[in-house]
Amino acid sequence: MPSMLEVSELTHTYPGQQAHTAIGGVSFEVTAGQLTCIVGPSGCGKSTLLRCIASLVTPTAGQVRLRGQPVRGVPEDLAVVFQDYGRSLFPWMSVRGNVEFPLRSRSVPRARRRELALSTLERVGLSGAEDKYPWQLSGGMQQRVAIARALACEPALLLMDEPFASVDAQTRFELEDLLLRVRAEQDTTILLVTHDIDESVYLGDRVLVLSKSPATVLADVAVELGQQRDQISTRESELFVRLRGEIARTLRNAPQNRGEGDHDEAGEDEEPGEVDSSGEDRADEPALAGSDSTGSERGSTE
């Protein structure tokens, strides 16, 4: 498989009086078509890492290569989906307008824009909602619009920053399955950040486990669960349970990684060890506890 993304010794220090090193030398490679999940504690530098890859932040050191070429400026064939769909969609534009917007700046002709927007909205289950406005939609539907907007650009690389963290559990499962489905159809390369260990295993072909800030790669875990995944049976499987335990233990046993300039500033520790605590607890729990009840509540509302 050809290399899509190469991140080499990436380091980022936010400047200022209390300079903070968010990423401390991260290296990894993503091959074309791979769905790589990045999991790490809250505040460890996951968003900073994605922003550096998207050229929204210039890293202090290291290099990012997309299809072998060093990234300078925001690449055209890269799309980003953020957690905060409420702020990422334009409220004054219709759903179709929002999806077409990035295509306009790429000079896609009007008829083709419309065609791409409508077909992508259909793929994410939003046929019939194209003339609505974002504020008329539920959170889950708004996030579908954000996903459609990213996919309509047919990006070579799709970056997703905790894309399902703001929706309820039921919607989250639906959106995870939507992502797996469109990924299989479009063969997109995806780099998805999450603080949820279970989500990283459910979605990923592979999980990169990051340490506390400044982030370094603690482990690179292959997820050989196959392409066909199911919210109930996959999460019940022996391999799934073993992998989530392995990742939780990696995070729990990691040495404290406090870089110079690091400090307990307000905000950083607001969600204390979200990954660590949930991972630890869940790893020791019976694996089926959550999956069963959620599974039985699920309807076929997709």
Site of interaction with Mg ion (CB under 5 A): 47
- Told to check if 84 binds ligand ADP by CB under 6 A, we report no
C-beta of residue 200 within 8 angstroms of C-beta of residue 194: yes
- Told to check if 190 binds ligand ADP by CB under 6 A, we report no
Amino acid at 157: L
Give residues 262-281 in contact with ligand ADP (rule: CB under 6 A): 267-268
Which of 18, 119 has the CB closer to ligand ADP?
18
- Told to check if 200 binds ligand ADP by CB under 6 A, we report no
- Told to check if 212 binds ligand ADP by CB under 6 A, we report no
CA-closest candidate to residue 19, choices 52, 55, 60, 53: 60
C-beta of residue 36 within 8 angstroms of C-beta of residue 205: yes
Which of 47, 257 has the CB closer to ligand ADP?
47
Tokens of 30: 């993503």
Long-range contacts of 205-209 (CB under 8 A, 24+ apart): 205/34, 205/35, 205/36, 206/34, 206/35, 206/36, 206/37, 207/36, 207/37, 207/38, 207/39, 207/243, 207/247, 208/28, 208/36, 208/37, 208/38, 208/39, 209/39, 209/40, 209/247, 209/250, 209/251
Interface pick for ligand ADP out of 3, 14, 63, 272 (rule CB under 6 A): 14
To ligand ADP, the closest distance from the beta carbon of 85 in angstroms equals: 17
Which of 66, 193 has the CB closer to Mg ion?
193
- Told to check if 45 binds ligand ADP by CB under 6 A, we report yes
To ligand ADP, the closest distance from the beta carbon of 209 in angstroms equals: 13
Distance of CA 41 to the CA centre of its chain: 14
Q: Phi and psi dihedrals of 185, rounded to 5?
A: -75, -40
Which of 47, 186 has the CB closer to Mg ion?
47
To Mg ion, the closest distance from the beta carbon of 141 in angstroms equals: 23
Q: Which of ligand ADP, Mg ion, none does residue 143 bind (CB under 5 to 8 Å by kind)?
A: none
C-beta of residue 243 within 8 angstroms of C-beta of residue 52: no
Which of 47, 166 has the CB closer to Mg ion?
47
Q: Which neighbouring-strand residues pair with 38? A: 193, 208
In three-state secondary structure terms, 46 is helix
Give the residue carrying structure tokens 């990954």.
275
Which of 180, 219 has the CB closer to ligand ADP?
219
- Told to check if 34 binds ligand ADP by CB under 6 A, we report no
Count of residues touching ligand ADP (by CB under 6 A): 14
Interface pick for ligand ADP out of 43, 134, 163, 204 (rule CB under 6 A): 43
Interface pick for ligand ADP out of 36, 42, 189, 250 (rule CB under 6 A): 42
- Told to check if 144 binds ligand ADP by CB under 6 A, we report no
Return the range that interacts with ligand ADP (CB under 6 A); candidates 37-45, 150-158, 197-205, 237-245: 37-45
User: How far apart (Å, rounded) are the C-alpha atoms in residues 156 and 133?
Assistant: 28
Q: Phi and psi dihedrals of 220, rounded to 5?
A: -125, 100
Residues engaged in binding ligand ADP (CB under 6 A): 14, 20, 22, 40, 42-48, 213, 267-268
